[in-house]
Amino acid sequence: MQKTFGAVAALGEPLRPKTLGSVLRTSESDVRAHLDQLHLVVRVPATNEAPIRLFHASFRDFLFDARRCVDAEFCMDKRFVHQQLLEACIAAMATCLKRDICGLRKPIVGVAEVDKVRINECIPEHVRYACRYWVEHLKLARASTTYVLVFLQKYLLDWWDTMSLMERLSGRLRMLNDLQQFVKVSLPP
């Protein structure tokens, strides 16, 4: 339950139950079962059409502050939760990212020419989340630069193409800049 609730509190954007289950590598029914116990602070939609939401954004701050949240069952280590989400994002990218993810078989195709339905079918929602937010989780977890090295060696080009299909040009550039800054700060001079 703590992993699921921690994820809801730390996500970069609210996710639907099924998508959260995919990110955490568990089932939608497990996500719902864990969050049903917390219905006073979390809104879990009856269907998979809407995202899970905290009723009060300030509750997130409460959960990650050991001085305020004294119940060990609910108090969470923010770095640890982001570390778990980082690892889940890397796993999602490792499993799904590949060259020519939409099978276009053309080296240069404008994004406007690619059917949005096809993009959504080829890039699952949890992979879109992982591509957009893994760097944010890396920074907040203050994780090892090893993750950056692995990403650059294994996933950079496929991630770049996937982000292009998702029309996230500015996001790509910002994230690469954030990675550069993260490595600068993390490595000894």
For the chain, domains (ranges, CATH) are: 2-63 (1.10.10), 78-186 (no CATH)
Report whether pLDDT(41) > 80. yes
Average pLDDT over residues 116-134: 93
Of 141, 137, 101, the C-alpha closest to 119 is 101
β partners of residue 53: 43
Residue 116 makes CB contacts below 8 A (sequence gap 6+) with none
β partners of residue 43: 53
Report whether pLDDT(169) > 80. no
Using a cut of 0.85, tell me whether the model's pTM lies above it.
yes
Confidence tier at 108 by pLDDT (50, 70, 90): low
For residues 140 and 46, the model is more confident at 140
The burial class, CB within 10 Å (0-12 / 13-18 / 19+), for 97 is buried
Rg (CA), the chain: 18
pLDDT of residue 2: 77
Average pLDDT over residues 6-23: 92
pLDDT of residue 24: 93
For residues 69 and 95, the model is more confident at 95
Question: What is the distance between the alpha carbons of residues 182 and 135, in angstroms, rounded to a whole number?
Answer: 9
Percentage with pLDDT > 90 across the chain: 39
Please give the structure tokens belonging to residue 184.
């600068």
Confidence tier at 189 by pLDDT (50, 70, 90): low
Helix (H, G, I), strand (E, B) or coil at 186: helix
Distance spanning both ends of the chain, measured CA to CA:
41
Report whether pLDDT(27) > 70. yes
Residue 182 makes CB contacts below 8 A (sequence gap 6+) with 135, 138, 139, 145, 148
- DSSP 8-state symbol, 57: T
Question: What is the distance between the alpha carbons of residues 88 and 166, in angstroms, rounded to a whole number?
Answer: 20
Report whether pLDDT(111) > 80. no
